[in-house]
Amino acid sequence: MSGAQPSGTPPSGTPPSATQPSRIQPSRAFPSDIDARIGKLERHIRALMEELHHARHEQRREAFTDPLTGLGNRMALVDAFIEAQDAAAGGAPPAALLLVTLDGFKGLKKSAGYASADQILVIVGMRIRSAVRQNDVVTRLGGDEFAVLLPATPQNRAAAVGNRILAALEPNIDLGNSSVRCGASMGLRIAEPHHSVEDLLQEADMAMEESKSEGRNKLKLFDPSTLHARQLQRQIVGELREAIRSDQLVLFYQPIVDLATGRIEGSEALVRWDHPVRGLIMPDNFIPVAEATGLIAELGRWVLRAAVEQLRQWRDNPVTAQHDFTMRINVSAADLQSLEFVDDVRDALVKTGLPPESLVLELTESAIIQNNELDRYTLASLHRLGVGLEIDDFGTGYSSMGYLRKLPVDCVKVDRQFVQELSKDSTQLGFLAAIQQVIRSCGLKGIWEGIETAEQAEALRSIGCTSGQGYYFGRPLPGPEFTEQLSRQQTWPA
C-alpha cells in the first residue's frame, strides 16, 4: 500500500526520545553558580556550629552557676580548684579557700520568710563579690554557705580578703519594710599539693566551726590539731554507736532523799560507757560528742528504755518495791526538738506498764531557754501525758522564776554550787533560804544538789528545804549494787 511506513519505523511526529534510550543531559550551571551554592552551605554550617557552641556554652554556664545568686556553684569551685592546683604544680603560689556561713540565718529565715531569706542571700553574694579581686572565684555551695577560692594567694593576703568580706557584710540589709544584720563566721585554709577539693572544704569547715564556737563574726585559720580532734571525734562517734548496739552502756543510779525522813523519793539515772579497752568512761567525755554529731537522740532513747525497765524490775520485786520512788532521766535540747520524743516516752511507759507519774524528765535551763514553738509543744505534750518535768542545775542559766512559772514544770534542782558556797561561808544560809522561799512561792518543789555532809543537810533542812541529793546520801551505783542497797536500807545515808 502506497504511503505505508516500513515496519519498525516510528510514526511521523513521534519524538525521538519516546523510542530511543534516554541520555543524561550535562549540567548547564556555570562555575559561579556552584561557588555560590557552596558558600551558602558553608555559611549555614558555620551558623549551626556557632549555635551549637553557644548552646554548649550556655549549658556549661548553667551547670556551673547558682540559679539564685548568679554566682558559681560547687562545680565551678571544683573547676577553679583544679586549675589552681595545676598552676601551683607549675610553680605558682598555692590557692587559698575562704568558707563563709551566715550567723543566725536559720532564725532569720523563720522570722523574715523564705522570699526575704532569698533576697538576703542575693545581697550577701553581691557584697562578697564586691570585696574580692576580679580573678577570685565566688561560689554559693548551698543554703547560707559561700566559698571563695583565691588563686595564688599567700595566707596573709587571704586573711586580708576575708576581713574585707566580714566588713562588707557588717552593714544592715534593707528588706523594704525592715532591715536585718547578717554577720558571718569564716574559715581559711591554704591548699596543699595533696589536697582534693573535699579535703580543702572539710578543713576550711573545721576552721569555720571554730570561729562559730569562739563568738562568731570572725575569721579563723585552720589549725592542724583541729583535724586530729575531728578524727578522734569520728572515732568516738563510731565506737559510741557500736556501744549503744552492743550493750557497752550502763546506767548508774543516785538517790534523791527526803531531808526530813531520810527515805528515798527518787533516783537519777546516769549513763556511763563501759569501753572494752579504755574502761569506764564518764559522760563528760562522750555526751558533748553525741550532742555535736546528732547521736544524742539515739543515746537518749537507750537511756529512757533502760531506766524505765529497771524501775519496773524494782517495782515488781517485793523486797525493793517497799520503796515508792520515781525515776529521773536527763533530757537534751535535741530531745525537745524531736517530733518522736513524746511517742518514745509514751511507748516506754506502755511497754513496762509504769504509770506516767513514775517518770520525771530533767531539763537544763539552756535546753528550754530557746522558747521556740516546738519546745513548747513538746513540753505541753509531756505534761498532758502525766510525766514529771523539772529544771536541772537551776541557777546556772539565764531564766527567771517568772519565766519558769509559765512552763509546765513541777520542780527545780538547785545547782550544787550554792551548797558548796555554804561550806565556805555560813552567812550564805540566808541567801539559800531566800532561794527556797522563791521556789516555794512559785508552787514548785526544790531539790538541792551537791550535799556532801550531815551539816549541809541539817542547814538546808533548817530553812525549809525538803529534798536533797549528793555524796552524803550515796554515790551513783550500777544497777545491781543499787538494788542491793534498796534491799537492805530503809533510810539514807545508811
Tens of pLDDT along 345-384?
A: 999 999 999 999 999 999 988 777 766 788 889 999 999 9
16-25, 388-397, 456-465: segment of lowest average pLDDT: 16-25
In a 3-state reduction of DSSP, which class is residue 133? coil
Domains of the chain by residue range: 74-222, 233-488
Cβ 123 vs Cβ 171: under 8 Å: no
Q: Is the pLDDT of residue 342 over 80?
A: yes
Instruction: Please give the pLDDT value at position 398.
Output: 59
C-alpha cell read off for 85: 592546683
Instruction: Please give the pLDDT value at position 386.
Output: 98
Q: What is the rounded distance in angstroms from the CA atom of residue 302 to the CA atom of residue 310? A: 12
Q: What is the rounded distance in angstroms from the CA atom of residue 427 to the CA atom of residue 450? A: 18
Instruction: Please give the pLDDT value at position 5.
Output: 46
Q: Is the pLDDT of residue 17 over 60?
A: no
**pLDDT one-digit tens code per residue, 224-275:** 888 888 788 889 999 999 999 999 999 999 999 999 999 999 999 999 999 9
Instruction: Please give the pLDDT value at position 305.
Output: 98
Cβ 167 vs Cβ 131: under 8 Å: yes
- Cite the DSSP H helix spans in 14-154: 31-63, 74-89, 105-112, 114-131
- What average pLDDT does range 105-130 have in this prediction? 90
Average pLDDT, the chain: 89
Domain 233-488 has CATH 3.20.20.450: yes
Instruction: Please give the pLDDT value at position 2.
Output: 43
Alpha carbon 463 to its chain's center = 45
354 HSE (CA, 13 A, CB side): 29
281-319 in b/e form (b: 16+ CB < 10 A) is beeeebbebbeeeebbbebbbbbbebbbebbbebbeeee
Cα separations in angstroms, 98 against 218, 223, 371, 466: 12, 14, 34, 56
Q: What is the rounded distance in angstroms from the CA atom of residue 66 to the CA atom of residue 43? A: 36
Q: Minimal CA–CA distance to 191: which of 275, 106, 100, 88?
A: 88
- What average pLDDT does range 74-94 have in this prediction? 96
Which H or E element spans position 206? helix 197-213
Dihedral (Cα; 231, 235, 237, 240), 10-degree rounding: -160
**pLDDT one-digit tens code per residue, 432-459:** 999 999 999 989 999 999 999 999 999 9
Instruction: Please give the pLDDT value at position 206.
Output: 92
**pLDDT one-digit tens code per residue, 316-338:** 999 999 999 999 999 998 899 88
Instruction: Please give the pLDDT value at position 8.
Output: 46
Task: Give 194 or 46, the one with higher predicted confidence.
Answer: 194
Tell me how crowded residue 475 is: count the other CB atoms within 10 A of its CB: 11
Instruction: Please give the pLDDT value at position 97.
Output: 98
**pLDDT one-digit tens code per residue, 173-212:** 998 888 888 889 999 999 999 999 999 999 999 999 989 8
What is the pTM assigned to this prediction? 0.67
Instruction: Please give the pLDDT value at position 240.
Output: 96
CATH code: domain 74-222 is 3.30.70.270
Task: Give 344 or 225, the one with higher predicted confidence.
Answer: 344
Tell me how crowded residue 340 is: count the other CB atoms within 10 A of its CB: 11
Instruction: Please give the pLDDT value at position 296.
Output: 94
Instruction: Please give the pLDDT value at position 6.
Output: 46
Strand partners, 361: 329, 389
Instruction: Please give the pLDDT value at position 397.
Output: 67
